[in-house]
Amino acid sequence: MGSPAPMKPRPPRRRPWMVGAAVGLALVALAGCVPMGPMGPGHMRRMMGRGMMGPGMMGGRLEPPPAVTVVPTATPGGPATVSYRRDIQPLFDAYCVACHGGQAGLWLTSYEHLMAGSRHGPVVIPGDPEASELVRRLTGASQPAMPLGGPPLPPDRIELVRRWIAEGAPKN
């Protein structure tokens, strides 16, 4: 008896639909990642914050780019007694950022975002606390009063914000 005839290797099964699907998915993914304009400094951070399922599902938060504004650095009436970094931002972190740190149309996570205001306009008018929507919401002069659904800020904290704005709302 002779040796059995060698078996021919079987050619791989072709699945042209898989190639088309892979190319299609690659194009869709590429279209979602290619910016449609010049890349800004926060572009990649914003893209990464979206995650696979959006900011709510993946824990990322999207912040709007701050508007270009004139930033006061000195007070019109002399040296400042209230510091944004020491007094105001910690107050926002404790009482406000839970809602205004990526939600509700106003971001109080940085000086630049605060001074950019909300979609309704500025919330701080440097030198004029009574015209500043921030003070009006904290005191209840504008509704809804803030913090929404929570106890009002202690009067000494509201006075601190009022004094900082009266001093020109400097970034100090």
pLDDT tens-digit readout, 28-43 = 555 554 444 444 444 4
Q: How far apart are CA 139 and CA 167, in angstroms?
A: 19
Q: What single-letter DSSP state applies at residue 3?
A: P
Question: Domain ranges in the chain?
Answer: 84-166
With tokens 């938060």, the residue in question is 61
Q: What percent of the chain has pLDDT over 90?
A: 48
Q: How far apart are CA 2 and CA 31, in angstroms?
A: 61
Does the pTM surpass 0.85? The reply is: no
Q: Give the CB-side neighbour count of residue 44, counting CA atoms within 13 A.
A: 1
Average pLDDT over all residues of the chain: 77
Backbone angles phi, psi at 63, to 5 degrees: -115, 140
- C-alpha Rg value of the chain to the nearest Å: 28
Q: How far apart are CA 10 and CA 143, in angstroms?
A: 76
pLDDT at residue 85 is higher than 90 = yes
